[in-house]
Structures are given as structure tokens and as C-alpha cells.
Structure 1
Amino acid sequence: MSYDAILLTSFGGPEGPDEVMPFLERVTAGRGIPRERLEEVSHHYMALGGISPINDQNRALLNKMRDIFPRKGIDIPIYWANRNSEPFFADVISQMYEDGHRTVLAWVTSAYSSYSGCRQYRENLYQALADNELVGKMRIDKVRHYFDHPGFLTPFMTATADAVAEITSEGIPVTDIAVLFTTHSIPDGMGETSGPPARRQEFAQPGGAYAAQHLAAAKLIMEDVQKSVETEGLNWQLVYQSRSGSPAMPWLEPDINDAIAEVANLGSRAVVVVPLGFVSDHVEVIWDLDNEAAETASDLGLRFKRVATPGDHDIFVEGIAELINERIANAKPQALSSLGPWADRCAVGCCPNLRRELPVVAEETTSY
């Protein structure tokens, strides 16, 4: 497939106090989230001046992509659009069409399989095409999941090893350190139906393919850490954060704060938190980890160290270029786990929207 433009596709965030509540209302539309819960979450943004760091982080990433991609043989325009805030999908896609682009490859700031992390982006991009009357006139394909790509994992590997080494240098043995790999919690049902239907039996465990991909990535990181740091007796686990929705609906657990309390109860003296489910230090990393989780650890007398996300790390951006080249230059796919490389195209019925019944779209395995 020949592409004439790339779309950096992200979640978005408010860039001022007046944008906070409209942003949260867009994010939670149709989910029945109580107004009180939105107001509670709005305080997290207000504590940061009503501004999410995610947009500035995406601007930095966009600039780095435009700098590095030509060196990797990718010399086509790169645009940026958000699901929930300006620049909105519909506006950017309209501009791309006016600029003459007809075949677009979207790279999404979500490395894992789930409805909210994959299929919802596909639905939103299709709707943006429909809103601009561009269905059939413009094609948008999506880059595959990259949870086990070396470009995504290498920054985590280095930072996790450095964090463990820093804590042991303070006299705390590895046997007293717990490594907590954290990601966004999702409803149990969303986890169970994540990934292609044909592979669901393979992932017949809590969290489905979503959890399996995170566990595979965490294991790879720990295996690499062992090469540079003594890890015998170092405990680790996958935990979750940032859950929302009705308290009656089961979501993936354990919550990171509960996990911190549990490892403290078991005798740990330090926690290393690895935000494996995120590509940048946005509000859910800064508030839920650097504030709430750090406070939990402090209250329990634990040393707390949070690892950085890949952000605009050169190795990560080079990895994105390699993922793009899989599609435009037939480069060999790279994957460090036995689960990958993940398929380029989503199967029919993959990661369904459980809030409504989706019609089967004949072309959904190939394009929007």
C-alpha cells in the first residue's frame, strides 16, 4: 500500500480551565458517568492549571517525528489530530483532504488491544470521514499494536534498570523492592473481548489479550533488567489505575494503591512504578501516580520511584518509524514476544463496543 500522509492520532486534553468540563463530557459521552465523578476528576486537571500536558507532549513528539523520519526514508507529511480536543479528527482530516492526501496511515498513541485503545479510534476516524463526506474518497489505515516492539520497550527497560539500581545503591536490597507495572484499568468485559475473536481462547484469562500483552511486555522488561541489575528475589506484578464508570461494574484489578498497600504489608520497603500502559506523562500518569500513588507509598513508609514513559525518546521515535516502514517499505516486522508481531489489520469482531451492537462493515479488516 502506498501512503501519502501520516496521522499522529491521540486522545487529547484541555489547554485551559474553561476546556476541562467540556473535555471530560466528550470523553465520557454515553457512558452514564455521574456529574459528581466528572467534577472530582476535573480537580486533577485544575491542580495542573486546567491544562493537560498531553498536547505539548504530542507537539514535541510530532517535531521529533518530522526530524527523524526522513533519516529513516520516510518523506511524507505528518499531521496530528485528537479524539477529544483540538485539533479534532474531523478538522484535520478535512485539511488533509484539501491538501491533496487520499491514503493516510494513522499511528495511535496506544500500544495495546482494547475497544477504547484501538477500535474506538477506528470508529472515530470513520465518523470524521463521514462528517466530511469523504467515505470512499479518502482511506485511513492504522498501524498495528506495538506493545512488544523494541522501540517502545527499550526506554522502559533502561529506565527500570536505572530505578532498581538507584534504590539498591541506597542500601535497600532487591528482595525488599516491588516493581509495579501499571496500566489503565478497563471493564472486565472489555478485557475479555479484546483482540481478535479467533485468539480469545488463547487469552482465556482475566483481562484477555489486553492483559496478556501487558504481561508479555513486563516480562520482557524484567528479563532485560536482569542483564544489568541483580534481580534474584525482585518481585513484580501487573496492576491497574484510573478506573472510572459505575462502581457496580467490575474493572480489572488490583488497583495500584491497593497493590502498594499489599506489598508494604508483605515487607517491601520500596516500589518502582512502571507506567507500561502509557506512551507519555499525561494527567493520568502525573496525578494518579506522581500524586496519589506516591502519597500512598509515603503514608506506608515506602521509597517510591516512578519510571518515565517513552515520550519523545529518540529510540521510541525511531521505533515508530520502523512501524511505519512495515507498511510503506515492506520492512520486516519486529516483535520481542511470542504474541507478536500483531496483525496489521483488525479482524471482524475485534475489540467490540460492548455498549452497543456494531454492524459488520465489509471493509473493516482493511480500512476505515
Structure 2
Amino acid sequence: MTLTESDAVPHASPAAAAGAPHVETPVAYDAILLAGFGGPEGQDDVIPFLRNVTRGRGIPDERLEEVAHHYRAFGGISPINGQNRALKAALEAELTAREIDLPVYWGNRNWAPYLEDAVAEAAGNEHTMLLAFATSAYSSFSSCRQYREDFSRVLDGSAYDGVVTIDKIRPFFDHPGFVQAFVEGVDDAVRARLDEGVPAEDVQVLFSTHSIPIDDAKRSGPRDVDWGEGGAYAAQHEAVAAWVMDRVAQLTPAAADVQWELVYQSRSGPPSQPWLEPDVCDVIGDLPARGRRAVIVVPLGFMSDHMEVLWDLDTEAKEAADEAGLLFARTPTPGVSPAFVAGIVDLVQERLEGRPASDRAHVTMLGPAFDVCRPGCCENVRAGFKPAAAGVAP
């Protein structure tokens, strides 16, 4: 569906402004905007960073300190900024190798370098048609729409309003470049257990992702699709996990007898608020009763080894496995693997070329996802609809 001009997408390139789901005409972007979450880079940064993350919620510092100890255990340094620096450098190298002349600007929501500074730097260099890559693959408020609200917040009423345009690369949850690391990691981990003499039926694979409130999950993705209880967010993870296990079974036939399920981690809401379940540590504790001897945890919802992976999985989930007497393995995230970096540049190229949706790479029946988010997509029920770029209002 193409909308009328009065329904144009805010801050969009002319090709995306009409609101068609897929932009199938070439767009002459002049820069890439790498949009990240941000993280502290020293002990003194931890509480100010957490205040930024929880701004508007009135959470006192003593409660923030309960989360701060995760960061303090690593010297107050989140790995995420270093990972984004490495990703930026890898993207620049891949772009150069393909002779694509696009600079990469990097900005965060919650810590320096901020998105405002990245946009200002780009505009100062006369780069005003930006294609954003948000560092989260799936559809939900926190992983997609909140980034789009960030873009709108940075531009609305600023000196760049009406000057800078920001489009967004589609949700890439089922792009081959993103999923390849998970296939390789699960296959390696399953083979290792089999080589150790653990029968396939005694191995459990847990695909883990960040939990979100159920009300948010229900509203993730386009409203005109019946995604089920967990919305597009859960459906996308389930589809990718199933594809990964099918692919692993092709590579290692004995893996067909390995059981798997989708689990959640890192919930942070009040106990009275329903969030997606089951929790990864709860499931691990139940595995011995199912006859399992080994657990393989796959950080399917995560692009890189940031704090939720290092603490919630490498620390807490491993401790749960140790207490349960289970062999434990955690597979890699995509990080800056060559396949993933090449996949991001493929996603850039499909927008530069205006590649038809029918020709775009994807591994599940849910893809390829849309370039321009649909009306009402990924609502935050507590805050309502705020202005958002790269999508049709509201």
C-alpha cells in the first residue's frame, strides 16, 4: 500500500516518504548511521549511564546500584562500545573492499558518542541522506521503534529538521549473514558433546533472548498480522531458531535428536508486570528432571557479547548449569564475523540499488522484513506513540 503525500513518513528520503513497505527504487544515500545502545566506560560512568537508560521512570540511585554491580564486576566498562568501534571499523573495511563510498557515523542512545553528535558530524560534512543500521535484529519497541523515536527526537525542531533524512535498514533477524554465526556455534557445540559421548537426546539447546513485557510483545510488528501471544518478537525468534536447528541437523544428522526451545532472560520490570517466559535459569534448573546431561545456550537475540550475554548467560546461566550438574556451553554471537559484516553491507546495497523485495536474502517465511515500519508497529503501551522516523505514523 502506498499512502498519500499527507501521510508521508517523517524525516524520510523521497523514495521512502510515501510509506510503501519496501523501497524498490535506488536511493543515493551519502552516509551510514550506526545506531547503538551505549554503555559506561569506567566506574564513574555506571550510575549516570543507568540514569540515562531509565530516564523518566523515577528510579532512585540505590535501586540502580542493584544493576550497577553487573558493570562494576567488569571494571565499570560495558563491552558494547568497544564492540561497536570494532563493527564500525569492519564495516568501513568491507565498504572500501566493495568500492562503496559511504562514511560510517556512530551514535548511541544512552552514552557517548550520542546520536545527536553523530548526526551533527554527518551534517557538518554535508552528509544529509542517512541510512541507519540499528544494532538489534528483531521487531519490538526497544529493539526497533525506540531507535526510530531516537531519530525523530534528534531531528524534530533542530537545525537539521527538513535538512537531514534518516531511513532505517529492515529488521535483519533472518538475514543469512546474521544467522550464520548461530548455525556454526550450535553445530560446533553439538558435535563437541557428541564427541564426548553424550547422546543427542541428552543435549538441550536453549535459544535465549531478552525478555520484554507481554503487552509490548503483543504489539510488536505490524498490527494486521496475527502473530500469536508473543507478537512478531517471539514469532521471529521461533522461526529463526527452528531454521538454525534444521540447518544444524543437515550438517550433523545426529543433531536431529537434540531438543530445543526458546527462553528469555534479563527481565527488569516489576514482579506484577507479566513478561515473556520461561526464564533461562529456571529452565536450566529443570533440565535434569527431563534427563538432560548438557545444555547449549544460544544468545539468539543478541548481536554481540555485551553485558546481558557476559553476565546473564556466561555468569548466571552457567552457575545455574553448574548447580544442576549439567555440562554447559554458550555459543558465539555474530559480533564482527565476516559473514555478518558482509551481510550488513548486503543490506545497505539492497537499499542503494532499490532491490525488489522478491530478490532480498532471508531464511524464514517471515522475511524479508519491511523497510518502512507499518502503522502502529511496536507500540509502547506505557508511553504511547511518540514521533518516530522511518515508519508510517503513528
Residue type of the partner of 1:21?
A: I
Q: Give the secondary structure class of the aligned counterpart of 2:38.
A: coil
Equivalent position of 2:102 in the other structure: 76
Distance, in Å, in 1 between the alignment partners of 2:313 and 2:164 is 40
Distance between the aligned counterparts of 1:28 and 1:89, measured in 2?
17
Q: How does 1:101-112 map to 2 (within 5 A)?
A: 101-112=127-138
1:337/1:73 Cα in 2 relative to 1: closer, same or farther (>3 Å)? Answer: farther
Q: RMSD of the TM alignment (CA)?
A: 1.7
User: Which of 176, 181, 196 is the equivalent residue of 1:150?
Assistant: 176
Question: Which of 360, 378, 383 is equivalent to 1:356?
Answer: 383
**Counterparts of 2:233 and 2:392 in 1: how far apart (Å)?**
22
User: Are 2:238 and 1:215 aligned?
Assistant: yes
C-alpha separation in 1, matches of 2:379 and 2:393:
16
| 1:169 alignment counterpart | 195
Q: Indicate if the aligned counterparts of 1:111 and 1:146 stay in contact, CA closer than 8 A.
A: yes
**Which deviations, in whole Å up to 9, do the C-alpha atoms of 1:245-276 show, x marking residues without a partner?**
21110000000000101222211110000000
How far is the alpha carbon of 1:81 from its aligned partner?
A: 0.8
**Residue 88 (str. 1) matches residue 111 (str. 2):** no
SS at match of 2:182: helix
Distance in 1 of aligned mates of 2:299 and 2:58: 28
CA shift at 1:360, angstroms?
Answer: 7.1
Q: How far apart are the structure 1 equivalents of 2:157 and 2:200?
A: 55
TM-score, normalising length: structure 1: 0.95
Aligned residue in 1 for 2:284: 260
Structure 1 gap segments, 5+ residues each: none
Aligned to 2:15: none
Deviation at 1:43, TM superposition (A): 0.2
Distance 1:98 1:228, change over 3 A: same
Distance in 2 of aligned mates of 1:357 and 1:307: 37
User: Match for residue 32 of structure 2?
Assistant: 6
Segment of structure 1 superposing worse, 74-83 or 13-22: 74-83
For 1:264 and 1:26, how far apart are their aligned partners in 2? 41
In the alignment, what sits opposite 2:339?
Answer: 315
Determine the structure 2 residue equivalent to 1:248.
272
Amino acid at match of 1:298: D
Taking a change above 3 Å as real, the CA distance of residues 6 and 360 of structure 1, as seen in their structure-2 partners, is closer
Matches within 5 A, 1:53-64: 53-64=79-90
1:153-193 superposed Cα distances (whole Å, 9 cap, x missing partner): 01110111001101111111111110000000000001000
Q: What secondary structure, in the 3-state scheme, does the structure 1 residue paired with 2:156 have?
A: helix
> CA shift at 1:73, angstroms?
4.2
Which residue of the other structure, out of 341, 357, 361, is the alignment partner of 1:334? 361
What residue is the counterpart of 1:178 in the other structure? 204
Residues 1:213 and 1:34: Cα distance change in structure 2 (over 3 Å): farther
Specify the alignment match of 2:77 in structure 1.
51
CA distance in 2: counterparts of 1:359 and 1:24, whole angstroms: 22
- How many residues are paired up? 364
Cα deviation for residue 95 of structure 1 reads 1.1
Check if 1:130 corresponds to 2:130: no
- Rate the CA distance shift 1:341–1:188 in 2: closer, same or farther, 3 A: same
Q: Secondary structure at the match of 1:231?
A: helix
Offset of residue 359 of structure 1: 5.8
Secondary structure of 1:80 counterpart:
strand
Shift of 1:133: 2.6
| Counterparts of 1:185 and 1:31, CA distance in 2 | 19
Q: Find the counterpart in structure 2 of residue 273 from structure 1.
A: 297
Structure 2: which amino acid aligns with 1:13? G
Deviations 1:110-144 (A, max 9, x none): 00000011111011111111363311111001000
Structure 2 unaligned regions, length at least 5: 1-26
Q: 1:34 to 1:221 in 2, by over 3 A?
A: farther
After superposition, residues 218-237 of structure 1 pair within 5 angstroms as 218-229=241-252, 230-237=254-261
> TM-score, normalization: structure 2?
0.89
Residue 145 of structure 2 corresponds to which residue in structure 1? 119
- Aligned to 2:106, the other structure's residue is in SS state strand
Secondary structure of 2:271's partner? coil
Q: Distance in 2 between matches of 1:335 and 1:79?
A: 26
Could you tell me how far 1:330 is from its partner in structure 2? 2.6
Q: Identity over aligned residues, as a percent?
A: 49
Which of 298, 309, 326 pairs up with 1:302? 326
